[in-house]
Each structure stands twice: as structure tokens, then as C-alpha cells.
Amino acid sequence: MSVTREKILELAEELILTKGYNGFSYQDISTVMGIKNAAVHYYFPSKENLGTSILKTNIQRFEEMVENMQNRNFDEHQQVESFMKIYLKSNRENKICLIGSLGTDINTLSEPMRAELQKMVGRIVNWLEAALEAGRSKGLFSFQPSARDQALHILSALVAGLQLARILNKSDFKNIHQAIWEEITPHANKQL
Amino acid sequence: MSVTREKILELAEELILTKGYNGFSYQDISTVMGIKNAAVHYYFPSKENLGTSILKTNIQRFEEMVENMQNRNFDEHQQVESFMKIYLKSNRENKICLIGSLGTDINTLSEPMRAELQKMVGRIVNWLEAALEAGRSKGLFSFQPSARDQALHILSALVAGLQLARILNKSDFKNIHQAIWEEITPHANKQL
DNA sequence: TTGATTTTACTTATTAGTAAGTATATTTGT
DNA sequence: ACAAATATACTTACTAATAAGTAAAATCAA
């Protein structure tokens, strides 16, 4: 794979996470990289193509992460913790996540991009649901709603947590993160 | 106040909630209203001015709602329930909320608009925190974290709940909404 | 030399924004 | 009461900048 292509993907993703999909242009990419806007079009003929590629890359990255965790015999507690750590990193870097960013712009996206976004979110929710369910049956987690509802609830808190932290105070995210974790962790005093 | 001005404000807000701040133009407003783009500039010289006006309107609307609830002697349970119902309505209308929408675009907003957004979110969080705290001391709510963390957690879940529901399935929001409510409601079986 | 990569030099469309003009009310001075 | 002045609510007709996108020529690397 071309190094230029990889860099464009990386930069475009960062721009989506910092300025939003409709808030960046090919010019933003080309000037930062020191190339011409037409060079970006060479690798990604259209913005839709670029956006879809970013989503495909992220789906692949997510599935590799899950596979890797399973290969290393991570239990569900460790898996969910690892997943949530991605969001802590995003918060440190003042970024939001693709779900929150593209969720805002969804009605302005082309159908293929929308489909890819749905695919990505679908896989994340399904994985989280399964991890929560399995973790609960092993006594690693404790929560009342269905695993799917709890997965949606956790993902929501993470996604908007980043957005709120960027509006209010970066450090607020740590508390949100902590609250999620305590919500599903079986503590001694939780039963009191 | 001018009827045209009011309509522009209303339409622009809807556009922010459906297409995002950087996803709509003065043309979108003027064509729908059957006026010229310059007429929109007559009322709101710049897009920043329009955006800031929308936020100011929303702050006022929120404070009127709180005042109204207090005048009607709503208890904290009823107050928080009313607030959460606003999000159910947004979900029915396939809209997200201003916090989620502008949270995505925050780095592309002018400083005055960013300040207004912070003001709005700050007031909502402060009110929610106070309502949760007071409600808990009356036994209307039950939760472990600090009232502020719980407020941030609830607001996060609502904000991103709308975004997730728009990506996945409209009906998913009802479950997220339900889960928040059950999280803070003192149920008999919660103590088991 | 051949193919991959990149630039040059565009086009077309859209953006926010403005300057100047117009019709219709509304106010004001006499 | 009546005309002159002024304010309101726009339209017409632009600009300057930027957007995504393209065709063709030049460069580079094997």
C-alpha cells in the first residue's frame, strides 16, 4: 500500500474527528501533506470514496482488535476495558469518535457511506452485547437490562461523553468513563 | 418580532439538528421559505450570528421551562422526566440535539458561538445536577456517583442515544431512555 | 519503456457575504 | 391634514473565496 494513501486516510480521519465530515476539504489534506488537491483525488476520486474507505479501515481495525484479544485469551472484563480505553485516548487527544461525528452528518452522507457507518456501529454493538452477556454469566459484570440495552447505553455514554468533554471540560470524561465502569462492575457495596 | 425572523430561526435550528451546522447553507433556508438569500442576511448578517441567536433562544427556552416547572410545583422526578421527554420527541422527529450536533462541529465554530454553546450546556448540566441531588435527598432517585457525574452520565446517554438511534434503529432510543430511567429510579428489585 | 504517481491548469457549483435599489408602511414636522 | 423624511422588509445583482472534481501533461521509479 502507498504511504501517501495511508497518510491521507489517517489525516482525513483525524479531520473528521476534529472538524466533522462537512467541516474539512481536500485542500485541508493536501496543504498539510504538501501535495496538490488533485493528488488526493488520485487516491480517493471522491470524498464519499474517502469517507467509505475510512469506515472500512475502521471496521477492519476493530475486527483485528477483537481477534487479537481473543487470541490472547482476554476475558470479557479485559476486552471491554480495552475497548473503553480507546475512548480515553480519544479524549486525551481532544477527538470525538466516528460514531458521534458521522452520526451528526448522517443525512448529508451518500447511501454507501451511510451503509458502511451502519455496518461499523452494528458490529461494535453486537460485539459489546456478546461480551457483556458472556461476562455477566461468568460473574464479571452485573447489570439489570438486557445485554443489548446495556451495550447501547454504554456506547451512548462513551460517544457523547467525548462530545460533552470537548464542550465543557476535558477532565469530565474521566468521570463519565468511571461511572460506566462502576455501573457494570459487581462491587461489594453495590448490593447494599 | 418579525414572523420571517422567527421562521428563519426555527428552520435553521431544524437544519442544524438534521444536517449539521456545516451541512446547511443560507440557500437551504431561503429556498424553503421562498425568499432570497440576501433576505436571510438582512435578519442575520452572518451565519455565526444566526447560530448564536439559535443558542440564545434555546437557553431562554430552557430557562422558561425550568421556571414553569417550578411554578407548577413539579417535584424533581417530574422535572427530570419532563426534560427527558424532550429527547423522546426529538427521536420521534429523527432529530438529534444541539449538544450532539454542535459538539461535533465545535472546532469550526467562532468563539462567540462556542461560548454560547458552553453556556447552554453548562446551565443544563447544573440544573440536572441540582435536580438529581435534591431528588435523591427526597428519596425520589437512587444512584451512587456524585450528582454531577450522574448528570453528565444521563446527558451523555441522551445525546448519543439520539445519534445511535438515527444510525441504527429509531426504536433503540426507547430502550436507552428506559435504561436511564431505571438506573436512577429506586426499584424494589434494584436492591436484590 | 512502462506504469505508477503527481502536478498543472482547469471547470463547475456553491458558499457566505455585500452594495444598491425598491415598494410599502410608519413617523414626523408644519 | 398633508407632504417629507425615515424605517422596514425585502430583491436584484453582484463578489471573492472555496468546494469537489477532471483532463492532460510531466515526472519518477523499476
CA dihedral B56, B130, A162, A46 (to 10 degrees): -30
Hey, is the C-beta of B136 within 8 angstroms of any chain A C-beta? no
Task: Indicate whether A125 belongs to any domain.
Answer: yes
Å from A13 to nearest chain B CA? Answer: 13
Question: Which residue's entry shows cell 504538501?
Answer: A34
pLDDT band at A154 (very low <50, low <70, confident <90, very high): very high
The answer to whether residue A98 scores a pLDDT higher than 50 is: yes
| B23: chain A residues, CB-CB within 8 Å | 22, 105, 107-108
Interface test with A, best of B19, B58, B104 (most A CBs within 10 A): B104
Q: What's the mean per-residue pLDDT of chain A?
A: 94
Q: In this complex, which residue's CA is closest to the C1' atom of nucleotide C10?
A: A38
Which residues of chain B lie closer than 8 angstroms to A149, CB-CB? 175-176, 178-179
Could you tell me what percent of chain B has a pLDDT over 90? 89
Question: How far away is chain B from the Cα of A109, in angstroms, using its nearest Cα?
Answer: 9
Contact criterion met (CB < 8 Å) for B163 and A167? no
Q: Is the dihedral of CA A69, A72, A74, A78 positive or negative?
A: negative
Distance in angstroms, CA of B39 to C1' of D19? Answer: 24
Give the span between the Cα atoms of A148 and A39, in whole angstroms: 44
Residues of chain B with Cβ-Cβ distance to A103 below 8 Å are 96, 100, 104, 160, 163-164, 166-167
Chain B residue at shortest CA distance from A114: B167
Q: If you search the block for the grid coordinates 488533485, which residue do you land on?
A: A38
User: What DSSP letter does each residue of A168-189 carry, written as one string?
Assistant: S-TTHHHHHHHHHHHHHS--GG
Instruction: Write out the residue range of the structural domain in which residue A78 sits.
Output: 52-191
The residue that minimises its CA distance to C1' of D11 is: B36
The rounded distance, in Å, linking the Cα atoms of B43 and B49 is: 9
Q: Is residue A16 situated within a structural domain?
A: no
Which residues of chain A are within 8 Å of residue B18 when distances are taken between CB atoms?
107
For residue A71, the domain's CATH number is 1.10.357.10
Residues recorded for chain A: 192
Spatial separation of the C-alpha atoms in residues B106 and B114, rounded to whole Å: 7
In chain A, what residues touch B161 (CB-CB under 8 Å)? 152, 156, 160
Give CA–CA dist B105/B109, Å, rounded: 7
Q: What is the pLDDT along chain B (192 residues), one digit of tens a residue?
A: 789 999 999 999 999 999 999 999 999 999 999 999 999 999 999 999 999 999 999 999 999 999 999 999 999 999 999 999 999 999 999 999 999 999 999 999 999 999 999 999 999 999 999 999 999 999 999 999 999 999 999 999 999 999 999 999 889 899 999 989 988 888 644 443
Is the pLDDT at A124 greater than 60? The verdict is yes
Does residue B35 lie in a domain region? no
Task: Output the CA–CA distances (angstroms, integers) from residue A129 to A45, A120, A151, in the order listed.
Answer: 37, 14, 5
Asked, for residue B59, whether it belongs to a domain, the answer is: yes
If contacts are CB pairs under 8 Å, which of residues 48-87 in chain B contact chain A?
Answer: none
CA distance B151 to B167: 25
Helix (H, G, I), strand (E, B) or coil at A21: helix
Q: Does A33 fall in a domain?
A: no
Minimum CA–CA partner of A94 in chain B: B107
Which DSSP category does A35 fall into? S
How many domains would you assign to chain B? 1
Encode pLDDT of A24-47 as tens digits. 999 999 999 999 999 999 999 999
CB A158 within 8 A of CB A87: yes
Q: Is the pLDDT of residue A1 over 90?
A: no
Residue B186 contacts A, CB cutoff 8 Å = no
Asked if B136 contacts B125 with a C-beta cutoff of 8 angstroms, the reply is no
Return the sign of the alpha-carbon dihedral for residues A115, A118, A124, A129.
negative
Q: What is the DSSP letter of B128?
A: H
**A109 occurs within a structural domain:** yes
Shortest distance between the Cα of B171 and any Cα of chain A, in A, equals 12
- How far away is chain B from the Cα of A143, in angstroms, using its nearest Cα? 10
CA–C1' B78–C23 (A): 52
- Chain D positions within 7 A of any protein Cβ atom are 8-14, 18-24
Given CB atoms, is A179 within the 8 Å cutoff of chain B?
yes
B3 is a domain residue: no
Q: Which residues of A touch B176 (CB under 8 A)?
A: 149, 152-153, 156
Asked if residue A29 is part of any domain, the answer here is no
Output the 3-class SS for B41-99. HHHCCCHHHHHHHHHHHHHHHHHHHHHHHHHCCCCHHHHHHHHHHHHHHHHHCCCCCHH
Q: Report residue A186's pLDDT band, with 50, 70 and 90 as the boundaries.
A: confident
> Which residue in A100, A107, A122 is closest to B160 by CB distance?
A100
Report CA(B6)–C1'(D9) in Å, whole number.
Answer: 14
